[in-house]
Structure 1
């Protein structure tokens, strides 16, 4: 069972936490995560919208929305949508895309662990491969629950620990700096029992199922590696950490390519993810 304090202004504001969040925001602004979205993972947002069945007129919050792959489809359905993210550069990309399509929704820079909204403010609260990267999982889960009205829907889509992206983070871990104190590995959000524990007895109708994203963007593991080295913030951060160690860079290069080759079959990679939906009590 997990508990939380109801407040319209939750705080995780220590100097260390602010520095960590600034580092995270900069990491996701590095490279070109919008390229990863456009060329590889863009369909996931719509899959989550289908799973939570967004309806016209609902007040919807997309947490750690990135470029709005769930927020924009929700707005297309006629919902009243707010998209939040720690990285304003990603929100700016989404805002431009929505404006080009003539879609209206709100875009707001916000921390998933300290959402600037009142208790029970939204009918639907969701996050597609977003909130999983907030370092303090219980704080983030508490916020998802807090801002959802009783009877409202929570939906989270996350990479699994044993799937491709989970294994990417496992591959990079020996080369990366130590995780900050109290931070949990992002792919744990892809574990059913972990998410069930995070939400505790505050939700009903807890449903979880695994699916696979069919990725046919890469022909070789080396092509995948080079694409992620250029575009994916967490990978860029690890390589920057190793910048002065050519031997370790070469070893990570080999391990990244081998990971890609291990998952490739006939030009296709299966990237496993978990969808969880639940109803706020």
Structure 2
């Protein structure tokens, strides 16, 4: 194994551990449950189609796709999230396959799926071009690629900017996740391998939190990137207090009243060239 391969293995191990920490499934189920069905509808998923959900987490999009009658594979780097999704799917009467997989090296054949989608998932793969290449590769000619990604200007993009001074430095070559919410960036990643590309900014209403401190504490306990930022502080109470205030201020600035917020995302659909 070369040095680059070893570095990549370490990086992916850290990503797995980050998303296994806390309780991302609670974030998906309690905060943003609407996003998966939005993406499934935008991709026109229907019975009989072969669908791949990349970086599926606990199945926010994969389970609705399966309930629509599609033949679905949910893939994710973090097996702990897949286990939660498997139990949720069984409880909801959804049948689908769960596979541990790296979004930058998917273990599927070329042109294997009619629809390839990802709901605020593939955006967290560190190497954007490699991940985009895999999305296109496993989609059949004429098939649909669909993505939901947080925008740089929206709430989650701003949250990552607020956490950046406190988080570990990104590894060499890794790109910021919210870039996937920039239409120009996504168009550049997919290039001329797709056609009929549509990118629309939308918002999802969040009313899970009554006040800023509730949002901060929820993410501090459950959201892997936020947990990692706090752990990076090494127990420094002053820096922890500063990060607390940065997150509280973010929530205050987005408060529409009573704790409700609108979080912006980019919905992308495209057709793979035949």
TM over 0.5: yes
Matches within 5 A, 1:122-271: 122-267=113-258, 268-271=260-263
Paired position in structure 1 for 2:64: 73
Cα distance in 2 for partners of 1:180, 1:152 equals 34
- Residue 120 of structure 1, CA deviation: 0.5
Paired position in structure 1 for 2:270: 278
- Residue 243 of structure 1, CA deviation: 2.6
Cα distance in 2 for partners of 1:93, 1:173 equals 29
TM-score when scaled to structure 2? 0.97
Would you say the 8 A contact 1:243–1:249 is kept in 2?
A: no
- Residue 228 of structure 1, CA deviation: 0.6
Cα-to-partner distance string for 1:152-203 (whole Å, 9 max, x where unaligned): 0000100000000000000000111211000000000000000000000000
Cα distance in 2 for partners of 1:257, 1:77 equals 39
Gaps of 5+ in 2: none
Cα distance in 2 for partners of 1:86, 1:252 equals 28
Cα distance in 2 for partners of 1:101, 1:188 equals 34
Cα-to-partner distance string for 1:240-277 (whole Å, 9 max, x where unaligned): 00033221111111111111111112121110000000
Would you say the 8 A contact 2:117–2:146 is kept in 1?
A: yes
Detail structure 1 runs of 4+ shifted over 2 Å in the superposition. Answer: none
Cα distance in 2 for partners of 1:37, 1:183 equals 24
TM-score when scaled to structure 1? 0.94
Moved more, 236-245 or 142-151: 236-245
Matches within 5 A, 1:83-98: 83-98=74-89
